[in-house]
Amino acid sequence: MDLSLLERRTDHEWHIAPSGAMRVPGILYASQALVEAMDHKVYQQVCNVATLPGIVQASYAMPDAHWGYGFPIGGVAAFDAEAGGVVSAGGVGFDISCGVRTLHTGLTPGDLEAVKQRLADRLYQDIPAGLGSTGAIRLNHKEMDAMLAGGARWAVERGYGTKADLERTEETGCMPGADPRAVSRKAKDRQREEVGTLGSGNHYLEVQRVEEIFDEEAARSFGLCRDEILVSIHCGSRGLGHQIGTEFLRRMLVAAGAHGITLPDRELACAPLQSDLGREYLGAMRAGINCALANRQVITHLARQAFAAVLPPAELRLLYDVSHNTCKEEVHVVDGVKKRLFVHRKGATRAFGPGHPAVPEALRAAGQPVLIGGSMGTASYILAGTTTGMEQSFASACHGAGRAMSRHAAFRQWKGRQVIDELAARGILVRSPSSRGIAEEAPGAYKDVSAVVDAAHQAGLARKVARLSPVICIKG
């Protein structure tokens, strides 16, 4: 990105002055190196988002920002329904509520040493992964609607986990306002056999070691200690979420003119929050969030079964579950006034600060856990939300490293077997049904996750608590 287009406010905050149809400025949080590496399309998309009706304060980009559909991935924007604000399917993304949940195990690396291969094989056997993967659960129409309305609570009620899991999940496991009736039959059909599956792309289940602690007090609050073995699950709403996004983007594009909305980009199709179409999308999108929450809950149950078969002493207790790719109705302070806003986070993580009532009481003093996923062979991070971040970015932080090259370019550069062998030489076991998928998700295809996390930390969006290193990766 051309730095001359930006005004540097601090080492990690860059502004784009409003021009043309922009209603608010653009703000990027990143180091100079990360900004320079961003595609110019990120700049253009941040500016385009700033033109949407009812946008409040600024159009934001997180340190991992890269080009996406309509919004940049790593894009954040809040809208005021009372001021004609809109909801954008492109501002949520296709994989609705793609997110990460991390679990304690009570194990150490020494506990894994003799059974590491067996554990990797058992996890791969028990947890369906890959393009078009299906699970053992088959939902009829009634159960599909119950899942879309109930989320992780639906899963727990059917024996896939415990009530303690819900206490450590955003929205306590169920997104209010979900409307299964707003979800098409085609979307439901795509999900009918996919509950409890990882899917493909950058989704994974990873066994990890706590490699370093940065903030001892927050780590104690989160129950983390050095060399503990954790399990992280990264996946979303699978085919259902993608179908919801596809269908509503088309409808929003057709209806934009009737709502008096001029779009700088077709991919930014949106609808007024107070319109019938806007409300219908919110109902469907919230059902998609519940689908993802249920999916991660069922995978948690499957992971517990696999560990019990190989390492019975393991006790997988949920640390937290966070979502990316959402639009959530939240109260934020703008110019000293509390406002109810609809915050779009696309490839960004909610990061409520210390004391926020939505954070579980046991974690509240430290702030919300912010779970940053790595890319197969690279580190993952646990951060904590900050008071500063609440003020700067509507309580939002990065969600991962962000791609540095396309999947096609990565496939040309790496071979799946090569990546697996290189990681095995480092002690990282990978299991995947797709050699091509491994190549497309090679660690080198992503930005430096440590640089991204450092930028988020330095910008005050969230503070570093712990770094995790991969041990086993079940890759979609």
Q: Which residues are catalytic?
A: 399
Phi-psi region of 137 (alpha: psi -120 to 50; beta: other; left: phi over 0): beta
**Chain centre to alpha carbon of residue 458:** 21
Cβ(65)–Cβ(58) under 8 Å?
A: no
Q: From 37, 40, 36, 17, select the one nearest 27 (Cα to Cα).
A: 17
Element (H, E) at 330: strand 326-334
Number of residues in the chain: 476
What contacts 36, CB < 8 A, 6 or more positions away? 1, 3
Q: How far apart are CA 364 and CA 410, in angstroms?
A: 41
Q: How far apart are CA 50 and CA 48, in angstroms?
A: 5
339 is written with which tokens? 């406002």
Q: What ranges make up the beta strands (E) of 257-316?
A: 270-272
Q: From 458, 316, 335, select the one nearest 12 (Cα to Cα).
A: 458
Residue 254 class from Cβ within 10 Å (0-12 exposed, 13-18 middle, 19+ buried)?
exposed
Phi-psi region of 161 (alpha: psi -120 to 50; beta: other; left: phi over 0): left
Q: Map tokens 């600024």 to a residue.
A: 58
DSSP 8-state class, residue 170 = G
Give the N- to C-terminal CA distance of the chain in Å, as an integer: 32
212 is written with which tokens? 């370093």
Strand-strand pairing, 99-107 and 86-88? unpaired
